[in-house]
Amino acid sequence: MYDFTYKKASSIDDAISAVTSADDGVFMSGGMTLLPTLKMRLAQPSDVVDLAGVDGLAGITVSGGTVEIGAMTRHVAVQKSSDVAGAIPALAELAGGIGDPAVRNRGTIGGSIANNDPAADYPAAVVGLGATVHTNKREIAGDDFFTDLFETALEPGEMVTKVTFPVPQAAAYMKFPNPASRYAIVGVFVAKTADGARVAVTGAGSCVFRVPEMEAALNVSFTPDAIENISIPDGDLNSDIHASSEYRAHLVTVMAKRAVAKANG
């Protein structure tokens, strides 16, 4: 680990000021990705600004067909929230499948989406449900937030404050997990909404992406059979020691069918 200056922020303004005034400052929420990255010397920030002491960044509210989750809300809080389970059961179940209990008790939704690991679970929910990411500066549509491998639409000094999820008519998330990390080798979130079906895939590519062909088929018939013969090209998919690009392409269809079946009860 390289040397850095540690600061525990007391407010949103304090955190933003600390990061923007540093040579290369970063926010830290749960630290589940940042700390291993620092330990392996894959990053060398000048300053690490801890958000754990900032009030008003954690909490869950369900109102008017919307689930609002503060950026510092732990995965376990989403997993165990009866309000989330009542409004979007798939979101609570997704949170319960992230990592292990230690990760779920420290990791946060804001940190997860801001880091944009290509195999993370929450990006699939953000895109699959058509969520909105709120920052200290603006609102960003989920479809526009994740831009590439570990990259997002966030600007320097911009911080996620909360995420709002519209309640769908039906939704489900299914993933093929890495047996050690529980990261998604492939995960698919499907949702039936008033504006049509949405299918979001994580783990397969450089970042989360939608499958328009499946969405069109599900708009006609929201059943597993509707997408059984739809496959995606593997040319741009990830290929590593865990799974080839061809296998990941196959898993997209398999997980999507299972997710639709689960969404239908």
Could you report the per-residue pLDDT of 96-146, keeping only the tens digit for each? Answer: 999 999 999 999 999 999 999 999 999 999 999 999 999 999 999 999 999
Residue 60: strand pairing partners: 69
Q: H/E/C letters for each residue in the chain?
A: CCCCEEEECCCHHHHHHHHHHCCCEEEECCCCCHHHHHHCCCCCCCEEEECCCCCCCCCEEEECCEEEEECCCEHHHHHHCHHHHHHCHHHHHHHHCCCCHHHHHHCEHHHHHHHCCCCCCHHHHHHHCCCEEEECCCEEEHHHHEEECCEECCCCCCCEEEEEEECCCEEEEEEEECCCCCCEEEEEEEEEECCEEEEEEECCCCCCEECHHHHHHHHHCCCHHHHCCCCCCCCCCCCCCCCCHHHHHHHHHHHHHHHHHHHCC
Read off the pLDDT band of 196 (50, 70, 90). very high
Could you report the per-residue pLDDT of 220-257, keeping only the tens digit for each? Answer: 999 999 999 999 999 999 999 999 999 999 999 999 99
Strands 5-8, 47-50: parallel, antiparallel or unpaired by DSSP?
A: parallel
Domains of the chain with CATH codes: 5-50 (3.30.43.10), 60-263 (3.30.465.10)
Cα–Cα distance, 188 to 178 (Å, whole number): 14
Q: Which positions ≥6 away from 121 have C-beta within 8 Å?
A: 94, 95, 97, 98, 112, 173, 175, 184, 187, 202
Residue 174: strand pairing partners: 188
Cα–Cα distance, 255 to 82 (Å, whole number): 26
Read off the pLDDT band of 259 (50, 70, 90). very high
Q: How many residues does the chain have?
A: 265
Could you report the per-residue pLDDT of 37-88, keeping only the tens digit for each? Answer: 999 999 999 999 999 999 999 999 999 999 999 999 999 999 999 999 999 9
Sheet arrangement for strand 60-63: 60-63, 66-70, 160-166, 132-135, 139-141
Pair of tokens at residue 183: 């990261």
> For the whole prediction, is pTM greater than 0.85?
yes
Residues of the chain with pLDDT > 70, as a percent, come to 100
Could you report the per-residue pLDDT of 130-189, keeping only the tens digit for each? Answer: 999 999 999 999 999 999 999 999 999 999 999 999 999 999 999 999 999 999 999 999
How many CA atoms are closer than 13 Å to the CA of 39, on its beta-carbon side?
6
Instruction: Say what the pLDDT of residue 258 is.
Output: 98
